[in-house]
Amino acid sequence: DIVMTQTPLSLSVTPGQPASISCKSSQSLLHSDGKTYLYWYLQKPGQPPQFLIYEVSDRFSGVPDRFSGSGSGTDFTLKISRVEAEDVGYYYCMQSIQLPITFGHGTRLEIK
Amino acid sequence: QVQLVQSGAEVKKPGASVKVSCRASGYTFTSYSMHWMRQAPGQGLEWMGIINPSGGSTTYARKFQGRVTMTRDTSTSTIYMELSSLRSEDTAVYYCAREYLPNSADYWGQGTLVTVSS
């Protein structure tokens, strides 16, 4: 199974400041079809995960443009340009190039 | 709007089975596959498998093969996930999630807490 490793485990950010989360996969997520099967989710307290980013850098419908994704191969990053109070929760990266689909262990974002 | 509404919380004894439902609305039910994931208390997310509501074909995670069965009822736009031979480690919130592009998920159900306890 592909192992997804996220860092840091948690971060505390002042509103209006940027935040960055790293995700590394144990195998390349670049498929022969040219797509990279890396996704990001945010799970707010007491809620199911919500879809943020697909195929490394494309924002899902309705996701604010302060969220951006980047990376290639095995190294990926989610950035929040200016953190807002509503961004608190756990962020998960996910790969689906190979079954079983696997997730990182999550990064907890809290507001200072 | 897309809605996935899951059945209510369950408490089961070890060795029993549980069947969780996920009723879809707001889109063409047979056009999108459905994933099942779970999340143990205080833990991360775990993929269990996927079902294609159109033909009923399924793919299960190796870990759950032999214990999980995913089915669908197209007349009610409902997906079911049954997990058998329950053990305490199966205590978790179970989520259905609609497939978006190959093997990702956009909309999620609200979750169903399954507690396995003697």
Give the residue from chain B lying closest to A35, CA to CA: B102
Can you give the pLDDT at residue A109? 98
Q: Is residue A44 scored above 90 in pLDDT? A: yes
Six token digits for residue A31: 């498929």
- Mean pLDDT of the region A2-27: 97
Q: Identify the residue among B35, B36, B46, B47 best suited for mutation to test binding to A, counting A beta carbons within 10 A and taking the highest.
A: B47
Q: Which residues sit opposite B21 in a β-bridge?
A: B80
Distance CA B84, CA B67 (A): 5
User: Which pLDDT tens digit goes with each residue over A30-39?
Assistant: 999 999 999 9
User: Which pLDDT tens digit goes with each residue over B19-28?
Assistant: 999 999 999 9
Out of A48, A54, A100, the one facing B101 most closely (by C-beta) is A54
- Distance (Å) from the alpha carbon of B47 to chain A's nearest alpha carbon: 6
Is B41 touching A (CB cutoff 8 A)? no
- Distance (Å) from the alpha carbon of B70 to chain A's nearest alpha carbon: 16
Q: Cβ A37–B104 below 8 Å, yes or no? A: yes
* B98 CA to centre of own chain: 10
- Mean pLDDT of the region A2-10: 97
Q: Is residue B103 scored above 90 in pLDDT? A: no
Six token digits for residue A111: 């507001």
Report long-range pairs for A38-41 (Cβ below 8 Å, ≥24 apart). Answer: A38/A69, A38/A71, A38/A76, A38/A93, A38/A94, A38/A95, A39/A93, A39/A94, A39/A95, A39/A96, A39/B104, A40/A67, A40/A69, A40/A78, A40/A91, A40/A92, A40/A93, A40/A94, A41/A91, A41/A92, A41/A93, A41/A94, A41/B45
- Distance (Å) from the alpha carbon of A47 to chain B's nearest alpha carbon: 7
Out of A48, A96, A99, the one facing B111 most closely (by C-beta) is A48
Can you give the pLDDT at residue B109? 98
Q: Is residue B39 scored above 90 in pLDDT? A: yes
Which of B90, B19, B16 lies closest to B6, judged by CA? B19
Q: Is residue B86 scored above 90 in pLDDT? A: yes
Q: Is residue B102 scored above 90 in pLDDT? A: no
Which positions ≥6 away from A32 have C-beta within 8 Å? none
